[in-house]
Chains A and B, each alone.
Chain A
Amino acid sequence: MDLTLSPAEEAFRDELRSWLENNHPGHEPTGDEPGFQFRRDWQRKLQEAGWAGVSWPEDYGGRGATLIEQAIFNEEVVRARTPTPANVLGLAMGGPTVIAHGTEEQKRRYLAPILSAEEIWCQGFSEPESGSDLASVKTRAVRHGNEWVVTGQKVWTTLAHHAKWCMLVARTDAEAPKHKGLTYFLLDMEQDAVQVRPLVQITGEAEFNELFMEEARIPQENIVGGEGNGWAVAITTLMHERATLAFGLQVSLQIELGKLLEYAGQTRGGDGHVTSADPVIRQRLAQLMIESEVLRLNAYRSLSATMRSGVPGPEGSLGKWHWSEVNQALTELAMDISGPRALSANHDWAYRFLRARANSIEGGTTEILKNIVAERVLGLPRMR
């Protein structure tokens, strides 16, 4: 056990730190379009300096870094408070899925433009009738010669309004059992048969969309992982969503907690005392410090187990679920500390508080994650 960085890891971190210091792009402009363009420029800058896709193979434009270096990268970019790269779903999920299941041609075709943010990716899994029960999707793909014709509807599709490619799970065999009749496609969003309509969230923003496909076309070579193998490929995407994203989220949470500690020490409650002196608030702050430490430690334990044995330990399946609870608790405490200030919708914590409600739904609901832990980790009988 050694929780310090090796000299090589330290060198990696120092190099990254100084690069981030010298290249920080400053504050993100407000508004969806300018904000997005800003994050796109930032990602290109990362890519040009070799800092996009750090753990991807060097052959495909990555840096070939170890898992620990990837983790260091995730910590440092959050710590430096740099913007989220524009192509977050391509980097965290689409690229790793292509690396795991794609053909050599697909890797050559898709990976580089993901890294440079030239082509933005979105994830077309959920449908109005199929959320948690992903294997029940109804979007149909029918083969016509060398092409597939796709009709159906997706929903909650984050970034669809900016995306060039969609990771699409569609039914290609209506006769097969539901997990077997699925195929994983890369859908070109730039065609008239694909329509994107924004959905406004409880925060007032529109990060996600409805996606309508009316005889959209997908060439045969855009299948990832083979016809009928869509379930296995989709699981790869979801594992990356829960593991890779969760690692970075865990770091953001530490930063938010730091801000909350500061805020609590400056904010007076109704009794005129600083809120952090209130024994109940102190207890809740301390509990959050402890839980966020658990998130960090579990993430590292899981990485270490993966490096030793190839598979993450049981703690790896807990990260996204636990993170969502802690993040919600953090924003709830922030609201309590804010007192009447929380009533303003412009209050920064009010936004975070609202946004956090999605944490236990997006990327798999907490109930589904508990089912997975119960069945796969603890070996309990399948729920019926």
Chain B
Amino acid sequence: MNFDLTDDQRAIKRTANEFLASRYKPEVMRELAEGERGFTDEGWRELSELGWPGVMIPEGDGGLGLGAVELLVIQEEMGYALAPSPLFSTVSAALLLAAAGTSEQRERWLGPLAQGEARGTIAVWDERSGWAPDRSEIETENGTMSATKVAVPDASGADFLIISGADGAHFLVETSSPGVSVVATKALDPTRKLFTVHLDRAPAEPLSGGHSEQVAHAYATIVTALAAENVGVGQRAMEMAVAYAKDRKQFDRPIGSYQAVSHRCAQMLLEVEGARSLSYWAGWALDHEPSTAPRAASMAKAYAGDAGFRVAASALQVHGGIGFTWEHDLHFFLKRAKANAHAFGDSRWHRDRVAELAGVTAASAPAGSPALSTLARSPAPAG
């Protein structure tokens, strides 16, 4: 029993921290956030050289073949630096492809994704379905799809989209195909660009190579990756608040000597560390105890979603008026934390799933809610 990162994992975390701190200084982050594209080719090339897009892609398919914990420590540092990048969406697309792609699809895409030569993203949300990937009613007709997906991250720079459809099916649509239009939307969080994708009889290949358990595992990894990102976002917001509380003086004393301020900061630590513990645990379960992973992932997502936002909001309060200005960096962290809390199932959704997985009687829950049943296929944990 040892609940501690290994030396290798610690090294990855340190490297990521140092690399991102040197490349994504606040003014760089801000410029990317305020720009339209949200990332640069140079930035993408550098992350690709580190192998991050392929961190979990099997070595046989050209990736690093590392585990979920390695992905999570990178994600944590991406959140800490608030580095705008299509990394998360590409990793997510790769996870679903690796889980459910046919051998031809894997062969065609996983290598280029791992090398950073291609990018993908996932399109889950349609206006009818809410977030849950198997709630969608979208079907294909003669190999083509007509639908609208909203809040699709990083779609303009992606070579393909993984689209969730009816009955838990997933499809691959290339963005260069006829009938695909990608429209930028103004996102709450400007550090991650969002798009509306309209498909009008666009060619869509089914991902028919995997079982629903594998898809559920991929989604559990994706939501845990967002939880880990919020750990980093919260950590950074907390550090900003603590530094400001030591520095800023009012009534001739540092404001951090007032308990109304210092106790806020203590509360931030409690929530950040709690989110970190859950995220590492979910990562470990994804790698070593898949039956626990759905529960752990939902716990991590719900807790880190709430914690990331609350910590950032509390840090804003510690900053007073300056924290409310566009000039100050804090609002970018607040927005990312809140956006992450809503993406891929909000905290309420994930808590409901935690209850369902624990077998808490839900007589009046919507009968056989497909969203819950597909994603929660693993047996409820004993004791």
Shortest distance between the CB of B171 and any CB in chain A (Å) = 32
Q: Are A374 and B263 CB-contacts (below 8 A) given A1-B9, A315-B273, A318-B270?
A: yes
Q: Judging by beta carbons under 8 Å apart, are B302 and A290 in contact?
A: yes
Partner of A298, one of B274, B354, B363: B274
Q: Judging by beta carbons under 8 Å apart, are A318 and B273 in contact?
A: yes
- Inter-chain CA distance A258–B266, complex, in Å, is 29
Query: Is A170 an interface residue, CB under 8 A from the partner?
Result: no
Additional pairs, 10, CB under 8 Å, beyond known A291-B303, A367-B263: A2-B2, A2-B288, A79-B383, A273-B363, A282-B362, A286-B360, A298-B274, A300-B3, A374-B259, A379-B246
Query: Is A287 an interface residue, CB under 8 A from the partner?
Result: yes
- A to B CB contacts below 8 Å, 15 in the list: A3-B1, A265-B361, A276-B362, A277-B361, A286-B355, A294-B278, A297-B277, A298-B273, A301-B3, A315-B273, A374-B259, A377-B269, A378-B265, A378-B266, A383-B258
Across the interface, which residues of B come within 8 angstroms of A380, CB to CB?
242, 245-246, 254, 256-257, 262, 265
Query: Is A68 an interface residue, CB under 8 A from the partner?
Result: yes
Across the interface, which residues of B come within 8 angstroms of A99, CB to CB?
none
- Inter-chain CA distance A381–B257, complex, in Å, is 5
Query: Is A92 an interface residue, CB under 8 A from the partner?
Result: no
Q: Judging by beta carbons under 8 Å apart, are A1 and B383 in contact?
A: no
Partner of A304, one of B4, B274, B299, B352: B4
- Inter-chain CA distance A375–B254, complex, in Å, is 13
Q: Are A1 and B280 CB-contacts (below 8 A) given A305-B4, A374-B262, A380-B256?
A: yes
Query: Is A201 an interface residue, CB under 8 A from the partner?
Result: no
Query: Is B160 an interface residue, CB under 8 A from the partner?
Result: no
Interface of chain B residues 256 through 286 with chain A (CB within 8 A): 256-259, 262-263, 265-267, 269-270, 273-274, 277-278, 280-281, 283-285
Query: Is B6 an interface residue, CB under 8 A from the partner?
Result: yes
B279 (CB) vs chain A CBs: closest residue? A297
Question: Could you tell me how many residues of chain B have their Cβ less than 8 Å away from some Cβ of chain A?
Answer: 51
Across the interface, which residues of B come within 8 angstroms of A9, CB to CB?
1
Q: Residues of B at under 8 Å CB distance from A?
A: 1-6, 9, 69, 242, 245-246, 253-254, 256-259, 262-263, 265-267, 269-270, 273-274, 277-278, 280-281, 283-285, 288-289, 299, 302-303, 348, 351-352, 354-355, 358, 360-365, 383
Across the interface, which residues of A come within 8 angstroms of B3, CB to CB?
1, 3, 297, 300-301, 303-304
Query: Is A5 an interface residue, CB under 8 A from the partner?
Result: yes
- Inter-chain CA distance A380–B256, complex, in Å, is 6
Query: Is A18 an interface residue, CB under 8 A from the partner?
Result: no
Interface of chain A residues 1 through 51 with chain B (CB within 8 A): 1-6, 9
B360 (CB) vs chain A CBs: closest residue? A276
Query: Is A195 an interface residue, CB under 8 A from the partner?
Result: no
Partner of B352, one of A261, A283, A367, A375: A283
Shortest distance between the CB of B70 and any CB in chain A (Å) = 11
Query: Is A144 an interface residue, CB under 8 A from the partner?
Result: no
Partner of B358, one of A261, A274, A298: A261
B353 (CB) vs chain A CBs: closest residue? A286
Closest 8 CB pairs of A and B: A374-B262, A286-B351, A297-B277, A380-B256, A304-B4, A373-B266, A294-B274, A265-B361
Shortest distance between the CB of B311 and any CB in chain A (Å) = 13
Q: Judging by beta carbons under 8 Å apart, are B266 and A374 in contact?
A: yes
Q: Judging by beta carbons under 8 Å apart, are B360 and A265 in contact?
A: yes
Q: Mark A354-384, 1 if CB is under 8 A from B, else 0.
A: 0000000000000100110111011111111
Interface centre among B9, B242, B263 (most CB of A within 10 A): B263
Across the interface, which residues of A come within 8 angstroms of B1, CB to CB?
2-6, 9, 68, 300, 304
Across the interface, which residues of A come within 8 angstroms of B277, CB to CB?
294, 297-298, 301, 315
Across the interface, which residues of B come within 8 angstroms of A301, CB to CB?
3-4, 277, 280
Q: Judging by beta carbons under 8 Å apart, are B302 and A1 in contact?
A: no
- Inter-chain CA distance A2–B1, complex, in Å, is 5
B287 (CB) vs chain A CBs: closest residue? A1
B268 (CB) vs chain A CBs: closest residue? A378
Q: Judging by beta carbons under 8 Å apart, are A308 and B354 in contact?
A: no
Q: Judging by beta carbons under 8 Å apart, are B288 and A3 in contact?
A: yes
- Inter-chain CA distance A261–B354, complex, in Å, is 12
Across the interface, which residues of A come within 8 angstroms of B6, CB to CB?
1
- Inter-chain CA distance A85–B285, complex, in Å, is 35
Across the interface, which residues of B come within 8 angstroms of A378, CB to CB?
242, 262, 265-266, 269
